[in-house]
Every structure is written in structure tokens, then in C-alpha cells.
Amino acid sequence: MTQNAFVIGVDFGSDSVRSIIVNALNGKEVASSVFYYPRWKAGLYCDAANNQFRQHPLDYIEGIEKTIKDCLARAGADIAKDVKAISVDTTGSTPVAVDDTGTPLALLPEFESNPNAMFVLWKDHTSTNEAAEINDHATKFDTNYLQFVGGIYSSEWFWAKLLHILRVDETVRQQIHSWVEHCDWIPFLLTGGKDITKLKRGVCSAGHKALWAKEFGGLPPNDFFATLDPLLDGFTKNLFNDTYTSSEAAGHLSNEWASRLGLTTNVVVGIGAFDAHMGAVGGQIEPYHLSKVMGTSTCDMLVAPFDEVDGILVKGICGQVPGSVIPGMMGMEAGQSAFGDCYAWFRNLLSWPLQNVLKNSKLADGQTLEALINETTDNMIAELSKQAANFKVDEKAELATDWLNGRRTPDANQLLKGTITGLNLATDAPKFFRAIVEATCFGAKAIVDRFNTEGVPVKGLIGLGGVAKKSPFIMQMMADVMNMPIRIHSSEQTCALGAAMFAATAAGLYEKVEDAMHAMGQGFDAEYHPNEALVPVYAKRYAKYLELGNATSKTPVQSKVAAVN
């Protein structure tokens, strides 16, 4: 390989899409660009009170075109001819209804403003009833079709969302031909796909969210779905049998997209995957090291050699799928439905008087008031962290659970609500904030405990993403609560970088993704070690967190987890 080999990694997040151009030889970032989804930013097609979060495909299409063209402009005109491949990661499960050409229904004139014809974002929880029905229904079969997704199906996933859309919208039901994950649709779009039967599905999305498993010969049989609801009868015939790893190619850039982006049709387009899975690779994941992608939510990835975890099924996680992270290894996923979102919620709560009182003040002009509001809001979390860090860890202090958006793992339950106890007249904003941060760290520990007690030892922690990079206060507390060191990856864009590594592999620049990870990895720039004096205090507070969670969920605290503490 020469210096003149570049790849593009595209990371579709909850609020924006980011593209980077990377030197495939050494992983050096040449250019980057971010695009915030305009329709999403305006709050269109969403209803937070009813947990409805939908995204229009035009936000994605405009975003990928804008960011890649911007990257090429920043990198210089000569670089386009040396771009070898593009790979993408997305949030998930974020599926959409498509017609037989693979076109999302929202791109058709009659559906352009219909939220049910749009991508159903990962954090959309409108299908909690459907998820509960799937979980009950699965107990009626001799084969446990939920065994590879932790034994509990989530409302955040593929089938629950599909069934909900089919039930609530007759117009979509009449026009839908198939149901496609965001990470699978973007490569199909870039390669000029016009026939849904030709769309290649990644094993990442298929295994973790759609119940695909080689042990079932693919998806569960039609009878499983037809007896769940007749609306699903025969639907699997419009889905898929085969899956592909992200180290494989979906095809080449189409004439249309090569022209739109200013690239050539020689550019390879890789199979897509979820953001945390590619992010774990970008963050140089190691066997048995939990790679924590910490943003609005968390996704926790762990890989292990097949022969070492053969026969082990970890209960209550988001699945274990061969090759979903690194081809040739078992990929295991867990996570928290709200992490950074918990902090953002509290910031927004405190910002209410700024947005509703101060902005109407007559004491300053509108431009000055807007600047003050933005400055205060932007600095709020940093100042709360600074003051919260000064408090002594008190076993009897305010205590919270982190279920402000339900619980992803262990044991998915999106109906759960966040709680806080121990409030008194001395509770101020920093103390309240500290309890929220502590809750997110305790939620993370519950995931580690589940892996350990189910026979998959967590030997180390790797922190990735915005929270990991920006908040020493939260990361130090994470190390103290976990009683384990946590390394922070130096890359600001581990998900996009991971996509770039897979792009280089799909293009044949590297034989396997581990080689790309070794050559293109950026290493670690920080490490937090537990404060031995605080570990026992946090252990006592963690036990109280489990008790509070038990009281909230009305289910027994798991004996195995309790025994660890």
C-alpha cells in the first residue's frame, strides 16, 4: 500500500452524520465534516411524550452527500481519485418500510409527511406492547428463538417496531414490501440498488435485532410470526436468508452517487453495521475487554474467541452474534438506553427558566440574551461536574436509577422509569446531578456483573465517545464504581474510524479487519484508575441502587448479581 490510498468512514448518529477521510496506511484523519439533521433538529415527526422518535430519509441523504463533498473539498481536489472505499455505521435498531425497489416509503409523495413511513429511531419505544407479546409468544415454542438475544426481546428492535407500524397504519401496511435497517439501506442506496431482493443484509443488524441465526437456518420460521399476528404471515419471504460481515463489499459506488459525490465508480462500498460495533473496532477492542461507546446512550461491546464461549448464552443482553464485531469472533452487545441523555435531560430541566423567562427579559437586547442563554447552557454540565466532584462520597446521599428512557440491559424493560430518593431541603443541583451520574455508572456496573456471573469475564474497560473524552469526573467515578481501570481511546471519532477500517478491509487493502485495526488505530491517551478508599463506599451505594431498582421494577434482585456484592 502507498500513501495514496484513502478511505471514507461515515457515522450516522442520533442527531447528526459525520464523515471522515482517512489515510488507509496509518489511520491519520485527513478531513472531517458534520451535518445536523434539519428535520430532526426542528423536532419534526417526533412525539417525546409518547416515546415516538422518527427520522426522515432525506436527513440521511442530504447529510451523507454534504459531509463527503465537504471532506473532499477540505482534503484537496486531487484526493478524490485515490479514495478506495466507503463504509457506514448507523444507530440501531432503526428500520424503515420500503417498497419493492428498496425505496423508503417516506420518499414517495403520498408518504412524505407520514412518520410511520420513516425510519423508526433506535430510542422509539412505541412498540412496548408488541415486544411484550413477542416475549410471551416465544415461550410457546420448543425452540427458543430468543436465545441469542439474551432471552428478552426489546421494543427498540426490528420485529416489535415492524408489528407496531403494521398495526397502526393501514396505508403503510398496504404499500410496504420489506423492512430494512438503516445500516443496510445506506450501502444499498450508494450502490444504486433498485431491487429489494438484491439488498445485502449485515450479520450485525440481522443477528442482534432481527433474530437471524445460523442455528435456525436464518430467520425463525413463518409459523412463529404468523401465530404471533396474522399481519406477519408470509412477511419473512420479503426479507432475507443470507447475511454478510462488514469486512465484505456491498458493491461499488453507482454512477449517480459517484457523480453526486465527485468520486469514481471504482470506490468499494462496504456492508454496514451499527455504530457501536464499528466503534469498538475503531477503539481497538480486545478480547474480554468491554468497549463502552458512551454518547446519548451506551452500547457495550465484547468479543471472545468462539471456542472459549461455546455453549455460553448470556441472559439479558442485546445478543451474541458470530462475526458481528470482528469476523471470526463472537460479538456480544449490551448497553444503557440513556447515558448522556440523562445528563442532557437534567441540563434541559435546569435551563427551563433561561428559555422561558430570561429570553423575555427587557434588561438586555435579544442578541445579548441569546448569547447569555447559550453560554450558560453550554457550560452547565462542566460546572455541575466541577462542583459535584467536591462532595464527599456519602453512603446516605441522594440515590437515583438511570432508567429515564427505560432499561436496555441487563434484562430489557422499556417501561421502567427513572427514580431518585433521599431528597431533602439541602439537595441542590450539583448533588442531584451527582446522583444521576452515579446512577449511570451503577447501570454500567450491572452490565459487567451480568457478564461475569454468566461465565464471560470482563477483564478490562475501554471508553469511547463524547462522554469518555470530555468528562474526567464521570470517567473517574466509573473507575471507582467498577473497581477497574478504564482506558480512553484517543480518537474523537472512533465509530467513523471503525467504519474506515472496515472500508479498507472491504477494499482489500487489508486481509482482515484486525490488520486494519492494528495499522490504523490511534491508541489511548488517558487511563483512570480506581481510588481504593472510595471503592467500598461505592460498593455499599451500588447495593442500595440494586434495592432501589428492585423496588422500582417490582422484580427480585438477581441472586447471582447480589452475591457478587
Mean pLDDT of the chain: 95
Percent of the residues in the chain that have a pLDDT greater than 90, as a whole number: 95
Cα–Cα distances in angstroms (integers) from residue 361 to residues 186, 356, 379, 381, 505, in the given order: 46, 10, 21, 24, 57
- What pLDDT score was predicted for residue 3? 67
- What pLDDT score was predicted for residue 396? 94
At 340, list the grid cell.
448522556
pLDDT for residue 555 is more than 60: no
pLDDT for residue 557 is more than 50: no
pTM listed for this prediction? 0.91
Q: Contact at 8 Å (CB) between 87 and 269?
A: yes
Mean pLDDT throughout 165-192? 98
- What pLDDT score was predicted for residue 407? 95
Q: Dump pLDDT digits (tens) for 186-213.
A: 999 999 999 999 999 999 999 999 999 9
The helix/strand/coil state of 352 is helix
Domains in the chain: ranges and CATH = 6-283+493-511 (3.30.420.40), 340-489+531-564 (3.30.420.40)
pLDDT for residue 265 is more than 90: yes
Mean pLDDT throughout 145-169? 97
- What pLDDT score was predicted for residue 560? 35
User: Scanning the structure block, which residue is given the C-alpha cell 396505508?
Assistant: 171
- What pLDDT score was predicted for residue 329? 97
- What pLDDT score was predicted for residue 558? 39
Q: Dump pLDDT digits (tens) for 59-100.
A: 999 999 999 999 999 999 799 999 999 999 999 999 999 999
pLDDT band at 554 (very low <50, low <70, confident <90, very high): confident
Cα–Cα distances in angstroms (integers) from residue 338 to residues 251, 284, 341, 403, 416, in the given order: 35, 24, 5, 7, 12
196 exposure class (CB count in 10 Å sphere: 0-12, 13-18, 19+): buried
pLDDT band at 301 (very low <50, low <70, confident <90, very high): very high
Q: Dump pLDDT digits (tens) for 304-360.
A: 999 999 999 999 999 999 999 999 999 999 999 999 999 999 999 999 999 999 999
Mean pLDDT throughout 135-150? 97
Q: What is the DSSP letter of 274?
A: E
- What pLDDT score was predicted for residue 564? 31
- The more confidently predicted of residues 560 and 545 is 545
Mean pLDDT throughout 426-431? 97
Beta bridge partner(s), residue 244:
202
Mean pLDDT throughout 442-446? 98
